[in-house]
A and B are shown apart, each in its own frame.
Chain A
């Protein structure tokens, strides 16, 4: 029945012929694979035994926050389900120390930063899914922004500072671990959910999970469609659709007091979005923020992502586990988008034109479709880039963890060792062409010139990582030394210019240590130091461009369950010896080659934290929450920047890092009464700057928005939901990159139902 429903759903899709062919192929393969595996691994054990090794999730459990030392933060399943997040940017605003630079307003191209790292394309953080690197090519192309589909995410774990020491490659800021949909504990369950809302947005998901004598399984598919909230001059569509199917199969074997699990995860997802890099001029934004110029009418991105993961978990002692995963991810995308005018002089870059339209009104009027390209000759032709990328990411990783207690005379010493090894290889192949168009009567028309090959290059990286962390707990003290060692071989080949070929081997030694003390049952303090590095890739000349920093933290945690009060706060200081940037079009670079830049010294310090407090008002439970981040992120040396990411020109000591707000916070208030639950949250972000260089720097004003979400449990099996993003329809600018001002999402209403059967 699920397959039937999925096929009905897919028949409604735009471009369904393309999507369906790929989707069904993959679905059939998945099912055959699962059936074959079920027969190969015929288990002799019962369901209870099969579940014996399922790891207990302790991350984010508030009851032991005071005891656990340096941990991550989480956006839990309840929160994600309440707000029906499809945009990871919005979900992450719930976590202190995380900030995002929105791009399209729909969360398609997330730009996530942690603790002062540049959010551009999430290139400075590590993105994991179920503890496995999930970026398309995290070493070769860290700036290839990609986010797992939130329809299939149960939880987001965010590791910052010291807690990310053992995670590579780019973890100066930290890492985000997307925890995918889990097979529900001990029950057979199917769910169907459908949401409908503003901008003709439909989001449907079907899921079925069960436990048989052959093992446990989960299979689910989802489809999101939206017409988007922008309107292209001349009426081209701005549709967005995303689909995914995810299948998991797990079987377990118990022999004596030892057990092992085998879990297979397969996923296939596609996106077809008519999104653009092109924003608006200041004046146009003020008069019509959701307008799109006709020069962006043909912009379109399609991608597909395949993931294959096999995880084996072996219990080697009472508490000792060896978790071994082998994985392969393939990602392919094509973005056909407006890139530039044929006239490539810097003053006619799209960003410059939109920042200063009065300086060049003629080219501006071509861009908006009011004047024909012919008015300025061939210089006025518009170049549409067709940027194809093929990525793969594969590897083998294994983690040993244990818990050993030693009875000393003076007390118990608990030792929790953890050793992680990974061999990883990834590759990006850039195959880029361009075609010339001219603006004629407000429409783009192809010019007869032949397609140009603009780039053909391949970067491959082979990386070996070993990390070790041992947590020593004695009485109320915890000491946790960590080291990570990485060896990375980069190989770059340019098919058009062999002289650009380069290769390099890089090493990173990342030590860290933390001290933690529980002062009372309610209160604990800790401090830590860790070295941090981002292995960012190659510079144009193949030189080493490694980002290194020292990170210091002081934290305290307070939890009083009786008072339903929880507080935590971290003071951190990151001292960059060399901050790096990467050339991406979304960051303002015109070539988008992935080239890396050195930026010199920078200091980032800040304070982040959260307070949650709950109380009862009669029979109504009222949870209140606040999370905040104060950041001071500035360059600490003078240098001349050639990177558009920071701006081109003189960077002075004290200039701000781009797109890092000094203050952001989210305040939430909820109410739970019997079958009804609602929450209102206010998110605020202070002003940011689009670049560091003072000349031509654009200040993006502070903004606030309010989201509202509510659930009502109609029956045991049926739940209704309502949400409003940007409840008060606040118009605000989220970015001035890549080209021009970009709006945040306007008020969006959504209703939905979820049925469990």
Chain B
């Protein structure tokens, strides 16, 4: 009997010490409020007693909440600018006043779009709830149905509402971009009787009417986007959904280590910049199937041409996570200040590089003139085509995350990128 008890004790002991699960104490609302108070008053947490719960509170207060508020505010402004533009079109037709209000709407759209790209530095939490409902309704690129946007425009023109079968791929901020920036003479709808109304509209509608129809599409879509950005803001707001508190009170995540891994998983969104925003248009990704070995038609923001700015904003957001968001402090508290510095420095180099690249034209313009072989032969150190050098530079971030940051914190690479051999 004694042997059995001893054996049991030994097993239990091994089980206890063998556990690798890191579980911090969940915090209550009082402690949470104290943390928030010290952050909003400008007092940073001390490195010596920095912990994951403090980090998550800091991340929520300094990154997620302000960015979601910013997005919501910008979206409301965007809608108001579109209302003004539509009103000017109705009142004054294609006048100079309408052109000015169109420019205001475009500027407002760009501001809104870039604030969303900043959020995409780490899409986590409410934005991906319910099968990414909010994310999809705000912006679903690269999933995009431009023919669908035309059919939605026809539906709004005829009924005042979206088609009942409308999908988010023909809505969101990219539909607003399409409506405000695109020309009015072409469509991607095939020559099928299903799309007869679209073709008739393209060929037989007065241009001012067309602009008004597209403005109404932009307005209807911006209302939908506004509703979703408001939901996102509400979900993070401390006096409403308070998702920041949910991150530290144990109601959402199994443990803080798993939660931290979810955060780093979401930060791998820069892979989209590497592979889809740049890799595919540059012909460096297998989804580019063109015989010309490059796919400029697949660039993001092909109507507004703000592709470089959108990538820049992701890395601005990434640095915000490491600096104001507290990830750097957490790394430092764990003895990895070197990794923190490397990440921030690399991000800043990318941002500086993008500033330079902007002087060479848009991504599309740079792809048009580049030599595809030179692009393929471009490396991090031998930059034959500058825009391809940016793609290689982002690859370094991926490598830094996989080889240093994640191992240092005993975190896993997101499953979908584990097999990525580059």
Contacts and interface: CB of A to CB of B under 8 A. Distances in A.
Contacts of B286: 344
Contacts of A346: 415-417, 419
A362 B412 contact: no
Given A362-B169, A377-B169, A343 B145 contact: no
Interface string B105-131: 000000000000000000000000001
A648 interface: yes
B289 A449 contact: yes
A756 interface: no
Interface residues of A, number: 30
B287 A642 contact: no
A642 B145 contact: no
A342 B416 contact: no
Contacts of A640: 418
A342 B419 contact: no
B145 A374 contact: yes
Residue among B143, B145, B190, B412 having the largest count of chain A Cβ atoms under 10 Å: B143
A650 B412 CA distance: 9
Contact of A642 (B131, B143, B298, B419): B419
A283 interface: no
Contacts of B142: 343, 377, 379
Interface in B126-180: 131, 142-148, 167, 169-170
Nearest to B132: A359
A379 B417 contact: no
Interface in A657-680: none
A362 B421 CA distance: 28
Given A376-B143, A378-B298, A450 B148 contact: no
A97 interface: no
A375 B131 contact: no
B17 to A, nearest CB: 18
A450 B290 CA distance: 8
Nearest to B195: A374
B169 A375 contact: yes
A479 B298 CA distance: 70
A640 B407 CA distance: 13
A344 B419 contact: no
Interface in A632-650: 640, 642, 644, 648-650
Contact of B143 (A344, A377, A436, A648): A377
Given A377-B143, A452-B289, A362 B415 contact: no
Contacts of B421: 642
B289 A436 contact: yes
A21 interface: no
B291 interface: yes
Interface in A323-359: 342-347, 358-359
B198 to A, nearest CB: 12
Contacts of A376: 143-145, 169
Given A343-B287, A449-B289, A695 B415 contact: yes
B132 to A, nearest CB: 8
A592 interface: no
Contacts of A648: 415, 418-419
B109 to A, nearest CB: 20
A642 B418 contact: yes
A260 B146 CA distance: 77
Residue among B148, B275, B286 having the largest count of chain A Cβ atoms under 10 Å: B286
A275 to B, nearest CB: 26
B144 A347 contact: no
Contacts of B275: 345
A361 interface: yes
Nearest to A644: B419
A696 interface: yes
Given A375-B169, A648-B419, A359 B131 contact: yes
A489 to B, nearest CB: 27
Residue among A375, A450, A640, A649 having the largest count of chain B Cβ atoms under 10 Å: A375
Interface in B242-281: 275-276
A362 B167 contact: yes
Categorize the interface residue count of chain B: 20 to 34
Contact of B147 (A374, A436, A642): A374
Contacts of A344: 285-287
Contacts of B298: 378
Contacts of A343: 142, 287
A436 B147 CA distance: 19
B131 A361 contact: yes
Interface in B167-222: 167, 169-170, 188, 190
A92 B419 CA distance: 35
Nearest to B276: A345
A517 B326 CA distance: 73
B330 to A, nearest CB: 23
B148 A342 contact: no
A123 to B, nearest CB: 20
Contacts of B169: 362, 375-377
Contact of A649 (B147, B285, B412): B412
Contacts of A650: 412
B410 to A, nearest CB: 11
Contacts of B291: 450
B286 to A, nearest CB: 6
Nearest to B290: A449
A649 B146 CA distance: 37
A642 B190 CA distance: 41
Contacts of B147: 374
Interface string A614-625: 000000000000
A403 to B, nearest CB: 55
A377 B145 contact: yes
Contacts of A342: 287, 289
Interface string B288-300: 0101000000100
Contacts of A436: 289
Contacts of B276: 345
A496 to B, nearest CB: 12
B386 to A, nearest CB: 25
A648 B420 CA distance: 10
A138 B418 CA distance: 31
A650 B20 CA distance: 15
A343 B287 CA distance: 6
Nearest to A361: B131
Contacts of B143: 362, 376-377, 379-380
A644 B188 CA distance: 37
A232 B52 CA distance: 52
A372 B188 CA distance: 14
A371 B170 CA distance: 14
Contacts of B146: 377
Nearest to B418: A648
A644 B421 CA distance: 13
Interface string A363-382: 00000000100111111100
Contacts of A452: 289
A538 B352 CA distance: 43
A325 B275 CA distance: 54
Contacts of B188: 374
A375 B419 contact: no
Contacts of A379: 142-143, 287
Contacts of A362: 143, 167, 169
Contact of A375 (B167, B287, B417): B167
B419 A696 contact: no
Interface of A: 342-347, 358-359, 361-362, 371, 374-380, 436, 449-450, 452, 640, 642, 644, 648-650, 695-696
Nearest first, the 5 closest Cβ-Cβ pairs linking A and B are A346-B416, A376-B143, A648-B419, A648-B418, A377-B144
5 contacts: A343-B287, A374-B190, A375-B148, A376-B169, A377-B143
Interface of B: 131, 142-148, 167, 169-170, 188, 190, 275-276, 285-287, 289, 291, 298, 412, 415-419, 421
Given A376-B143, A449-B289, A648-B415, 7 more contacts: A347-B416, A371-B167, A374-B188, A640-B418, A642-B419, A648-B418, A696-B415
